[in-house]
Each structure stands twice: as structure tokens, then as C-alpha cells.
Amino acid sequence: MDDLALLTELAPVAERNLERHLDATKVWYPHTMVPWSRGEDFEPEYEWDPNEAEVPEAVRAALYVNLLTEDNLPYYFRDIHRMYGYADGAWGEWTRRWTAEEGRHAMVIRDYLMVTRSIDPVWLEDGRMAQIQSGKVPEPPSAAHGFAYLSLQELATRIAHRNTGKLLTDRAGYEVMAKVATDENHHFLFYRDMAKAALEVDPSGMMKAIADEVRGFAMPGLGIPGFVEHSKAIANAGIYDLVLHHEQILVPVVLRHWDIENVEGLDAEAEQARDKVLNYIKRAGRVAARFVAKREEAAAKEPQTADAWHRREQAREFGS
């Protein structure tokens, strides 16, 4: 099915999912979550000192990536609107609502980081300028690909935000990241269930899209300067890595919720696509299991040895 036919067929499902989203989400205001009393002016000669905030370097890398990912909203809106926003009714309303909610994420994270001086503001702004000028983001080619990619991406982002917050010792920072993660979870649920409905309406087309997006998945922050190095640090800290990707995304979403093993009505090409996805997830599971076993073995030894092994293995799995 082409995009317009698919979206027209799924319009009633989109309307129900939008209504569920609006009922489930609670109104919140970024300005109420930022500890403004801790803020000071940035004098012209100011030079940031990492000792101003007790934030581990890996967590600081995660905050940098998390915020710059949210900052790239203009490009995300472009692609969301291309895939869904041109359609009438619930699709256009969802696109606008999603955009408005995503905009708050960058606001609250940036305000928190500036008030607490948890990150170098010059480094952050230089990164924002470079990223947005590069225009590098994943670009799903169709509505079906969008359902698949955004399901994976929104859940991955939720996990990364939530785990970053858990490593912050500051209660205000924890609550900021938890609130953003909650929003991302609501977005994930919308796309996850739209993908499930698309599998029923156009099983072959959706299965091929799932195969493409699962096997070629990339986080939306790939255009961030130093993204590969930051990703390694984030993985080292246990914020987001291959184990989490397999256990909390591929298995529960692709295998269980979408239940791709039992989808019927596939054409020959889609059958091959399903086989590729299932084989990919099996391989990822084996790699994740080996990683967990070796990590536990290393942890049984002295901490320094375990840490060194962890860094080496993550670099091997997530290197360029």
C-alpha cells in the first residue's frame, strides 16, 4: 500500500490512539521543574569548570547527547510531517501535538543544565549549531518505515533519558529526566500500536519496513559532533547499550507485541524479510548473552580489571 492508502485505512486507529494519548498525558510546565534559585549570571569572561557540578563524565556525555537529540526537532518535524502531517484529521493533529510536546523537552533539559552549570554552555551551543547545520538524521522513506523506526527510537530515547536521570545525584535533575522519559513513553505507545495495526492492514509492506528499520537502526543523534565517542561512554555507563537494546526493545516490541513470527498473509519477499529480522534478533541475543557473561566474570575480579574489560568490549561492539 502507498502512504496515503495506508494512512487512510488506519485513520480510525490513529484517532483512537490520539484520544488515548490525550487522556493519558498530564499537563506539565518546564518552568516549574527548574531550580531557578540555584542560577547565576554568566559573566562575559566566564569559563566553565567541571567541578561546578558533581556529574560523572559519562553522564555528562549522555546529557549532551540527550539534549542535542531533542534540539534537532526541526528536522524531525520535517520528516514526521512528510510521512503523516499532510493527511487530514487525527494524523495532522498528532503531528502537531507530538511536535509541541517534543519542544518542551529541549526547553526543560537546557534550562536545568544552565542553572546547575552541569555542562559547558559553550561546548553545548557549539554542538547544537554544528548538529543542526549538518542536517543529519535518520529519514524513514515511508509511513510504514516511520511506524517501525519511531517505535524503536522513542522507546530507546525513553530508556536513555530515564537511565541518565537515575545516575544524577541531584533530585531536580532526576525529576526532569523522568518527566521527559514519561513523554517519550507515551509517544512510543502511539507508534508501537500504529505499527501493530499496520501489520494487520498491510502485513507484507510493514514486515519489509520492520526488517529495514530493525537491521539498520540508528539513534537520531547520529549528527551530533563526537557521537560515536559519546555513545561508547553512554554504553560504558550502562545508560544504553546492546544488552538493553535487545532485552528492552527487540524482544518485547518486535517479538512479543508485534509478534512477527505469527504474522500471516506475507508475500515471498516479506517472508524473507521476516527471516532476516528473526535471525538478526537471535544474533543480537547471543552477543548480548556473551557480553553479560563476560561482564559478570570481569566484575568478579578486581574493579579496575572489570572496568577496563567493560570499556574494551563496549568499544568493540559499538565502535565505528
Lowest-confidence segment of 101-115, 121-135, 290-304 by average pLDDT: 290-304
pLDDT confidence of residue 12: 96
Between 36 and 222, where is the model more confident?
36
Burial label, 264 (beta-carbon count in 10 A; 0-12, 13-18, 19+): exposed
pLDDT confidence of residue 100: 96
Q: Which domains are seen in the chain, by residue range?
A: 3-42+51-318 (1.10.620.20)
Q: 231 vs 28, 66, 135, 242, 314, CA distance in Å?
A: 30, 11, 19, 11, 9
For the chain, what is the radius of gyration of the CA atoms? 20
pLDDT confidence of residue 96: 95
Is pLDDT above 50 for 315? no
> What confidence category does residue 236 fall into, taking pLDDT thresholds of 50, 70 and 90?
confident
For the chain, give the mean pLDDT.
91
- pTM, rounded to two decimals: 0.90
101 and 203 Cβ atoms separated by less than 8 Å = no
pLDDT digits (tens, 9 = 90+) for 240-250: 998 999 999 99
Question: If you average pLDDT over residues 196-214, what whole number do you get?
Answer: 98
Is pLDDT above 90 for 281? yes
Question: If you average pLDDT over residues 260-282, what whole number do you get?
Answer: 97
Is pLDDT above 50 for 251? yes
pLDDT confidence of residue 37: 96
pLDDT digits (tens, 9 = 90+) for 40-87: 999 989 999 999 999 999 999 999 999 999 999 999 999 999 999 887
pLDDT confidence of residue 145: 97
143 and 84 Cβ atoms separated by less than 8 Å = yes
Three cell numbers, residue 137: 538524521
**What b/e sequence results for 125-153 when a residue is b if at least 16 CB atoms lie within 10 Å of its CB, and e otherwise?**
eebbeebbeeebbbebebbbbbbbbbbbb
> What confidence category does residue 222 fall into, taking pLDDT thresholds of 50, 70 and 90?
confident
Is pLDDT above 90 for 252? yes
C-beta atoms surrounding 49 within 10 Å: 9
Is pLDDT above 60 for 308? no
Is pLDDT above 90 for 178? yes
pLDDT confidence of residue 304: 52
How far apart CA 152 and CA 137 sit, in angstroms, is: 15
Is pLDDT above 80 for 148? yes
